[in-house]
A and B are shown apart, each in its own frame.
Chain A
Amino acid sequence: MALIDVRHLTVDLPSEDGTVHAVQDVSFAVEPGEFFGIVGESGSGKSVLVQALLGLIPGARVTGEAWFDGRDLLALNDRDLRSLRGSAVSMVFQDPLSSLHPQYTIGAQITELIHTHRSVSREQARTMAVDMLGKVGIPDPTSRFGFYPHQFSGGMRQRVMIAMALVLEPKLIIADEPTTALDSTVQTQILELLRNMRDEFGVTILMITHDLGVLSRVADRVMVMYAGRRLEMGPRAALFAAPVHPYTSGLLRSSPANYTPGADLVPISGRPPSLLEVTTGCVFTPRCPQAHEQCAETPPVRRYSDGAEAACWLDVSGKAASVLTDTAAQAVVNSHPAAEPAGDPVEPIIRATGIEMVYRNRRRSSARVLDGIDLTLNRGETLGLVGESGCGKTTLARILAGLIEPTGGTITLAGRSTRGLGRAEWKAVRRDIQLVFQDPFGSLNPRRRVGSIIGDPYRIHGTVSRHERRSRVQGLMELVGLNPEHYNRFPAQFSGGQRQRIGISRALALNPAVIILDEPVSALDVSIQAQILNLLSSLQHEFSLSYLFISHDLSVVRHMCDRIAVMENGRIIENAPTEQIYRAPREEFTQKLLAASTFNTAPVTEIARTLVPVVAGGPGLVRENVA
């Protein structure tokens, strides 16, 4: 019998703009001991779904059934539900720093949970907590018991969260993006820990993520959600190797982690629908490359012999389905030949030698953030800069852009040293180097219209007359795929991907030679990421731009870059052409980074599938539990 059996779950959230239909008619069952993954982009309803199960969303209207251990969670009263939370079902959240109370020690937070559900003495609770901290790999748990969350690193904090989730030996752990806020090597450790805990305690894990790569490594079965619906569900091998639903294959194709050298990313065009209206038929139709008239009607759930299920009119039984070869051909491929350096390859556009950055504080101690960085960026090339958080990559980017002055070393820009430049000279130099930032929400002033944001460089540098500015800005908007008629809108009226396009067009305004891209797609959904990455490479070809591409995500970097520089603790430890790094990484750290970023799916080319007859039931649910 399934440990948790969710049937026809629908969650409506009242909001100022109307009712948000966050989850619509979703059914799934998780077997005891299973590692079940739910994947979806932002707004797919995956987090709302699990939080609604535990009654954690105030004001939500939840209908359907959710059978857990013989009881319907949705029918329980507050008190009974509360007694399950933390003891029978526990949760691990995305950001372990903000998810732990900053003013209580981790020990106090864990024992608080124990005392809430069990009547044990203080000493017993303490012993339980210390034991569990040790089991999840916290060194010296007895003394760490009295530490505050800020005294741990990100990975250790997540271990604390996991210890708290496990301490009462629950039957089910719901992990909501447990690795998203962590560095990739730490991600791997946390995933391993979760899987080991599953094996050791027999706990069932329900993990939510936007990252297919993460699930490809750990999940037994995966459910794909989109716009509040369940589009596909199936065993990991089948789903990653031969997805049934066009959305799943679209996601896989647009993920740079699924890289085959020479191939281009195939983004899913368009963007997710508004959840304020209930669409009839398949929600994915407007973005689906295989849509036809039938898709206006509610699709059936087809079930195949290998366990795959999809709500789609396509019948893939008997077909040899493969993500990358078969269906890719049908999509519009935004293709460019591999980057060929434009201009004079002999003279690098940026040459940095011996860059050092040392921060001193008043008490003698100093922090060496950058330690002798040598770096060249050739014309027309994309150089990837990878490393974990805190390794100094953003500091380096700011130094190269002239935003902060290094404490040592020299930088030459197009053969000209930047040392001792005056204000006016720097201003001229800055035209050649532009920045695109990570956070498309924080990097645009919300009170200013998009047209004037993009036009800022013209105003600051006085290069274009007032009258001409508008047409130039609209030209830029068109270039990056924005509607020029949206000139007078505010940033809030654009989606994340569109905002990043705004940032890119602002960077392009002055025809720079170099654009420094600081994590330009990290805040975006996979399908949108691919759109932006493709835009960046087509712009590079059109304007012979040089890119310095900073990222923590090696798969993105591999897709974009000609060369990769790996940073660790303020040094560049390895700097080589991309494929060389991938085939023969020299440094141990690079190998670790690589291992943490690959997709763990063997491409299956031949799958013989047969359709399994479905017992009559409502759409969206296979009634296997009906006797």
Chain B
Amino acid sequence: MKLSRYLLSRIGFGLVVLFALSLFVFLLFYLAPGDPARAIAGDKANNELLEQVRQNLGLNRPIGEQYLSFIGNLLQGNLGFSFRNQLPVTGIILDRLPVTLSLVVGGVVLWLAIGVPIGIASARRPGTVRDRAGQTFALLGISFPTFVLGMMSLYLLYFLPTRAGFPIFPPSGYVPLTEDPLQWAWHLILPWTTLALVTAAIYARLTRGQMLEVLGEDYIRTARAKGLTERRVIYKHAFRSAMPPLVTQLGNDVGFLLGGAIVIEQVYGLPGIGNLAVTSVQAQDRPTIIGVVLVGGIFIVAVNLIVDLCYVLLDSRIRTAS
């Protein structure tokens, strides 16, 4: 009973956030300096043409009416029309979504696979060489700006081999998964690795801290006193309790990146949502900017909802509350 109420309240909260975001974005559109009609019609347009554009877009209707139709369109999945591309924004974003999704999903898998084991290994023997090495890695990863690491890997793994006549990796671009899975992965390896190295460091530290705390708990001593193998103590008992903060962090990171991994997409020339955000800001393509912001918001809300669901699975106290 209480559980469904908890989930409903989380969903309701997410909807409120999205509504607030849509209002904010709309006001930004409406109040920002510059005339959208002129942006569409071009500098040389005469007043008559401008007036016609305004008429077509409903720009001279009252603000409340405009907001209602904006929301109405939104609910139908219509994010408006990109003046620059002469295409519906929804379509543009949907085209680019697989790119960002591929980048983020692969990156997540890789950074968890690197960061979490390093953190666990460090926590099992704090203060040893293994721990110090893990921590040094973490410090390096945290201090490296993404673009530096990206440029470096491009230089070392693409530019140098290619100049020497042995091209290993493609320089940039994206091949859809449905077209050629091998090429898809091939093109994404460098972006994935870069994303993973930068982020894994944070997860290694977080995992280490959590594990150290949990390993000091009384129930870990109980587990050892039961005669369980150290492996089982670490993974079944300790890591289980160390997970919730990791899930929270993961939710934040994934939600944020799905709204556009701007730097990585720029460095590797991936036509994802981050790339779209940059180009549409440069072109002052307001409907597209609004679309990107809203989609990013939807992702963050959705991922946080999933995180809340995970809490229910991870925490017996939430699950059994009655």
Contacts and interface: CB of A to CB of B under 8 A. Distances in A.
B317 interface: yes
A551 interface: no
Interface string A49-60: 001001010000
Interface stretch (A79-87, A386-394, A499-507): A79-87
Given A148-B317, A150-B317, A82 B227 contact: yes
Nearest to B319: A148
B146 interface: no
A83 B229 CA distance: 9
B315 A103 contact: yes
Given A112-B226, A150-B317, A102 B218 contact: no
A56 B228 CA distance: 12
Given A103-B315, A103-B316, A148-B320, A98 B227 contact: no
A86 B316 contact: no
B227 A83 contact: yes
A85 B222 contact: no
A147 B7 CA distance: 22
A486 interface: no
Interface stretch (A88-96, A319-327, A562-570, A602-610): A88-96
A591 interface: no
A151 interface: yes
Interface in B217-256: 217-219, 221-229, 237, 240-241
A575 B224 CA distance: 48
B41 interface: no
B4 to A, nearest CB: 15
Interface in A214-266: none
Interface in A115-141: 116-117
Given A56-B221, A93-B221, A102 B241 contact: yes
Contacts of B226: 85-86, 90, 112-113, 116, 164
Contacts of B219: 98-102
Contact of B225 (A91, A94, A117): A91
Given A148-B320, A151-B320, A101 B223 contact: yes
A148 B317 CA distance: 8
B317 A98 contact: no
A100 B219 CA distance: 5
Given A103-B240, A150-B316, A150-B317, A90 B225 contact: yes
Contacts of B237: 101
A162 to B, nearest CB: 13
Interface in A313-350: none
Contacts of A101: 219, 222-223, 237, 240-241
A59 to B, nearest CB: 10
Given A102-B241, A148-B316, A116 B228 contact: yes
A447 B141 CA distance: 33
B314 interface: yes
Given A148-B316, A150-B316, A99 B227 contact: no
Interface string A172-188: 00000000000000000
Contacts of A51: 221
A102 B225 contact: no
A86 B320 contact: no
Contacts of B320: 147-148, 150-151
A148 B315 CA distance: 10
Classify the interface of chain B: helix, strand, loop or mixed: helix
A401 to B, nearest CB: 32
Contacts of A150: 316-317, 320
Nearest to B222: A99
Contacts of A83: 227
Q: How large is the interface on A (under 10, 10 to 19, 20 to 34, 35 or more residues)?
A: 20 to 34
A111 B228 CA distance: 12
Nearest to A96: B218
A87 B315 CA distance: 29
B317 A82 contact: no
A179 to B, nearest CB: 16
B222 to A, nearest CB: 5
Contacts of A98: 217-219
B111 to A, nearest CB: 25
Contacts of A116: 226-228
Contact of A86 (B217, B227, B315): B227
A99 B221 contact: yes
Contacts of A95: 218
A194 to B, nearest CB: 17
Interface string A201-216: 0000000000000000
Contact of A102 (B227, B229, B316): B316
B228 A103 contact: no
Nearest to A150: B317
Contacts of B217: 98
A98 B237 CA distance: 13
A148 B219 CA distance: 14
Nearest to B316: A148
Interface string B79-99: 000000000000000000000
A112 B235 CA distance: 14
A157 B104 CA distance: 44
B315 A85 contact: no
Contacts of B241: 101-103
Given A98-B218, A99-B218, A54 B240 contact: no
A85 B316 contact: no
Given A98-B218, A102-B316, A103-B314, A86 B240 contact: no
Contact of B227 (A84, A104, A147): A84
B228 A112 contact: yes
B42 to A, nearest CB: 58
A82 B222 contact: no
Interface in B276-314: 314
A42 B227 CA distance: 27
A93 B229 contact: no
A480 to B, nearest CB: 34
A84 B227 CA distance: 7
A112 B228 CA distance: 9
B222 A100 contact: yes
A135 to B, nearest CB: 19
Nearest to A147: B320
Contacts of A113: 226-227
Contact of B229 (A82, A84, A94, A161): A82
The 6 closest A-B pairs by CB, nearest first: A85-B227, A86-B227, A98-B218, A86-B226, A148-B316, A91-B225
Given A87-B227, A91-B222, 18 more contacts: A82-B229, A85-B224, A85-B227, A90-B225, A91-B225, A94-B218, A98-B219, A99-B218, A100-B219, A100-B222, A101-B237, A103-B241, A104-B240, A116-B226, A116-B228, A148-B316, A148-B320, A161-B222
Interface of A: 51, 54, 56, 82-87, 90-91, 93-95, 98-105, 112-113, 116-117, 147-148, 150-151, 161, 164
29 contacts: A54-B225, A56-B221, A82-B227, A82-B229, A85-B225, A85-B226, A86-B226, A87-B227, A90-B225, A93-B222, A93-B225, A94-B218, A98-B218, A99-B218, A100-B219, A100-B222, A101-B219, A101-B222, A101-B237, A101-B240, A101-B241, A102-B241, A103-B315, A104-B240, A116-B227, A148-B320, A150-B316, A150-B317, A150-B320
Interface of B: 217-219, 221-229, 237, 240-241, 314-317, 320
